[in-house]
Amino acid sequence: MSKRKWRVGTVALVATGCVVVLAAAPGVPARVAPETTSATTPTVVIWTDRDREADIKSLAEAWARPRGLTVQVIAKAEQNNVRSDFVTVQAANAPDVITGAHDWVGELAANGSILPLSPRQAVLKQIPKYTRDAFSYGRTVSQLYGMPTHIENVGLFVNTQLAKVPKNWADLEKQALAFKKKGGGRVAIDVQQGTGGDAYHMYPFFSGLCGYIFGKTKGGALNPNDVGLDSKRFIRNATLVDRWNRLGLVNSKIDGNTASQLFTSKKAAFWITGPWNIDTVRKAGIKFRIVQVPAIRCRSVPFVGVGGMMVTRFSRTHGVESAAKDFVASYMASAAAQNTLTVKNGRYPANTTAAKSVTDVALRQIGQAGAGGVPMPNIPQMASVWNDLGLAWVKSTRGAGATKAQPSFRAAARAIRQKIKG
């Protein structure tokens, strides 16, 4: 399995900003069941990607068999294709269930393409609230529109042969700068940005300086009218970014490939990355430990991407809505199902019981590094944030000739508000 392909909630997904408009389907002809089943046997169609096809099929068949149902699992080349093909699919061929990232929810729920779920309380107790929040949407009070199955976030990878696990931010800064001063192309904190910026990987610094993307309404829904890039608290703390830039603690010239090369060649002792690089580090023969980035002025929590399953509006048209909801909101929420789907494939399960059974040390550590993390905003307005937030970091951490952080982030906030209004 290509574990890199499991990344959920990537910038590429959010930045598409595509609006899924699916025509209503009155009088849609009955969907033809697979040739191996009776035409009268209810069939639940599930769309996923090739990496998850075998496990989804195994789980779905085990669920369907005792219920007198059949399932048809259709695999798309990539997770992105699930979403893009869903845009144009005809109702008769549409899926009843899709796997996908939580940041699809805002658009799909807003236009009625996915249905709300009402899991039993016993189920909800095993799924952390912050992962449920990721799959929730509503202008006033949020409603659950998907079942979280796995979570993904970055953490601080520490080469324990080159450095000690930092006790706090001051300790991290001291060790990182001392390591850089040894020369030979060494860097302090290895975090990818590049010319286009990377707001996702830089988020622990943003949250650590008390920044936020969107505030919330009294009902708990994300408020796109409250943009926090120039909040008083963050702007006051942003002067630290100028210090980091002056000392070379963070350098925006490091892109993704360079970041990997630096850590695996032992030119970096500290690397901010995610579970998709655990195998990369192991293959390089590096002894490492993963922790959450130490608190700066506030807790330096990461963005959290949450993967899961959603029930589409077409399950109602196809007469399998109840079955589809049972599969997604009950069966796939169980510890056993999430163990099969996530743990053995290198991702941390959303189900807390399944999480306790994780024996892979690095996977358990990256999961714990996501504690308190912020789900990437799933509302459509987030598409207006990524570019400007990433570029604000680039401009203020490019070394010589950098723009001061305060005006960089204020300008980004103004640009984002203008895009949202537009």
Q: CA–CA separation, 304 vs 406, rounded Å?
A: 26
Instruction: Read off the pLDDT of each residue in 266-293 and give the average, rounded to a whole number.
Output: 97
pLDDT of residue 388: 98
Q: Is the pLDDT of residue 119 over 80?
A: yes
Query: Do 272 and 285 have their domain in common?
Result: yes
pLDDT of residue 307: 95
CATH number of the domain to which 287 belongs: 3.40.190.10
Biggest CA-to-CA distance, the chain: 72
Kindly state whether residue 8 falls inside one of the protein's structural domains: yes
Give the residue, 32 or 75, on which the prediction is more confident. 75
Report whether 57 contacts 48 (CB < 8 A). Answer: no
- Look at the chain and report how many structural domains it folds into: 2
CA distance readout (Å), 156 to 68, 182, 277, 314, 368: 48, 21, 12, 42, 11
Q: CA–CA separation, 377 vs 106, rounded Å?
A: 9
Q: Is the pLDDT of residue 20 over 50?
A: no
The pTM of this model reads 0.87
Residue 251: helix, strand or coil by DSSP?
coil
**In this structure, what token pair is assigned to residue 136?**
């929730």
Provide the phi-psi class of 167: left if phi over 0, else alpha when psi is between -120 and 50, else beta: alpha
Instruction: Read off the pLDDT of each residue in 268-276 and give the average, rounded to a whole number.
Output: 97
Kindly state whether residue 73 falls inside one of the protein's structural domains: yes
Q: Which helix (H) or strand (E) covers residue 279, if one does? A: helix 278-283
Instruction: Give residue-wise pLDDT tens across range 336-382.
Output: 999 998 876 788 999 999 999 999 999 999 999 999 999 999 999 99
* Of 107, 148, 97, 196, the residue nearest 375 (C-alpha): 148
Q: Is the pLDDT of residue 11 over 50?
A: no
pLDDT of residue 31: 54
Kindly state whether residue 96 falls inside one of the protein's structural domains: yes
Instruction: Read off the pLDDT of each residue in 103-120 and give the average, rounded to a whole number.
Output: 94
DSSP string, 141-171: B-EE-SEEEEEEE-EEEEETTT-PPPSSHHH
Kindly state whether residue 349 falls inside one of the protein's structural domains: yes
pLDDT of residue 337: 96
Q: Is the pLDDT of residue 134 over 80?
A: yes
Q: CA–CA separation, 325 vs 219, rounded Å?
A: 25
Query: Do 182 and 272 have their domain in common?
Result: yes
Residue 319's identity, in one-letter code, is G
Residue 39's identity, in one-letter code, is A
Query: Do 181 and 215 have their domain in common?
Result: yes
Query: Do 270 and 411 have their domain in common?
Result: yes
Instruction: Give residue-wise pLDDT tens across range 50-60.
Output: 988 999 999 99
Query: Do 247 and 308 have their domain in common?
Result: no
Q: CA–CA separation, 22 vs 98, rounded Å?
A: 15
What backbone phi and psi angles, to 5 degrees, belong to 408? -60, -45
Query: Do 43 and 139 have their domain in common?
Result: yes
Q: CA–CA separation, 372 vs 240, rounded Å?
A: 23
Question: Which residue range(s) make up the domain with 240?
Answer: 155-301+385-421
DSSP 331: G
Query: Do 241 and 389 have their domain in common?
Result: yes
Residue 22's identity, in one-letter code, is L
pLDDT of residue 270: 98
Q: CA–CA separation, 137 vs 140, rounded Å?
A: 9
Q: Is the pLDDT of residue 36 over 50?
A: no
Query: Do 52 and 148 have their domain in common?
Result: yes
Kindly state whether residue 274 falls inside one of the protein's structural domains: yes
Q: CA–CA separation, 149 vs 309, rounded Å?
A: 7
Report whether 103 contacts 305 (CB < 8 A). Answer: yes
Kindly state whether residue 200 falls inside one of the protein's structural domains: yes
Kindly state whether residue 380 falls inside one of the protein's structural domains: no
Q: CA–CA separation, 183 vs 161, rounded Å?
A: 17
DSSP string, 363-399: HHHHHHTTTTPEEPP-SGGGGGTHHHHHHHHHHHSSS
Q: How confident is the model at residue 16 (pLDDT cuts 50, 70, 90)?
A: very low
Burial tier of 330 (Cβ tally within 10 Å: 0-12, 13-18, 19+): middle
pLDDT of residue 346: 82
pLDDT of residue 15: 36
Q: Is the pLDDT of residue 205 over 80?
A: yes
Query: Do 80 and 113 have their domain in common?
Result: yes
Query: Do 294 and 309 have their domain in common?
Result: no
Q: CA–CA separation, 155 vs 379, rounded Å?
A: 25
Query: Do 159 and 289 have their domain in common?
Result: yes
Length of the chain: 422
Q: CA–CA separation, 372 vs 359, rounded Å?
A: 22
Segment among 16-25, 27-36, 362-371 with least mean pLDDT: 16-25
Kindly state whether residue 99 falls inside one of the protein's structural domains: yes
Query: Do 221 and 285 have their domain in common?
Result: yes
Q: CA–CA separation, 41 vs 68, rounded Å?
A: 8
